[in-house]
Structure 1
Amino acid sequence: MAHLPASKVREGFADTINRAAYAKERVVVRRRGKEVAAVVPIEDLRLLEELEDRVDLVDARAALAETKKKGAKSLDAIIKDLDL
């Protein structure tokens, strides 16, 4: 994985995009020595999104199971509990 300062990425933006798109390389962008962003192949992004969706599904199923076990609260009760 390459690490480049933002100034070099800015100067060679097309090259950075090509490294991700065609060479399937991940490029970490640094500003003042701190990692601030990454340019990744689109396949990596799609995989990350799929993993996030799976985690969301697990959380949703757990919430439904808890609701079946403990019962649900009305929206009015939730608003009151949160002092909104």
Structure 2
Amino acid sequence: MDTLTSEVSARELRGHLADVLGRAMYGGERVGVTRNGKLAAVVVSVADLEALEAFEMAQDVEAYRKAKAEDDGGRVSLDELRSDLDS
């Protein structure tokens, strides 16, 4: 992952949690946490998380608007759907 500032193992995280949190909170670092040599999680700041959530919301709104614009108004009943799935 190109946006990670650094990585620590889960074992190292246990001993350096305050440091890792400080680096994320105040330094804006994105610290990867590895387990068995594989990236398992990422510690990020609240600001990074809020930005990610805003980005996801914008994508959802755009997808909704696109789906609404493409809606032809046709509807399928639950019984019709079930019979189509059984076919």
Provide TM-score, normalisation by structure 2.
0.79
| Alignment length (residue pairs) | 82
Cα 1:61–1:82 shift into 2, 3 Å? farther
Gaps in structure 1 of 5+ consecutive residues: none
Across the aligned residues of Structure 1 and Structure 2, the Cα RMSD in angstroms comes to 1.8
Provide TM-score, normalisation by structure 1.
0.82
Tell me, what secondary structure is at the counterpart of 1:72? coil
TM alignment of 1:6-45, pairs within 5 A = 6-45=10-49
Query: What is the aligned-residue identity percentage?
Result: 41
- C-alpha distance after superposition, 1:2-31 (max 9, x if no partner): 111111111111111111001111100000
| Corresponding position of 2:74 | 71
Gaps in structure 2 of 5+ consecutive residues: none
Q: Find the aligned partners of 1:31 and 1:65 in 2 and give their Cα distance.
A: 45
Tell me, what secondary structure is at the counterpart of 2:60? helix
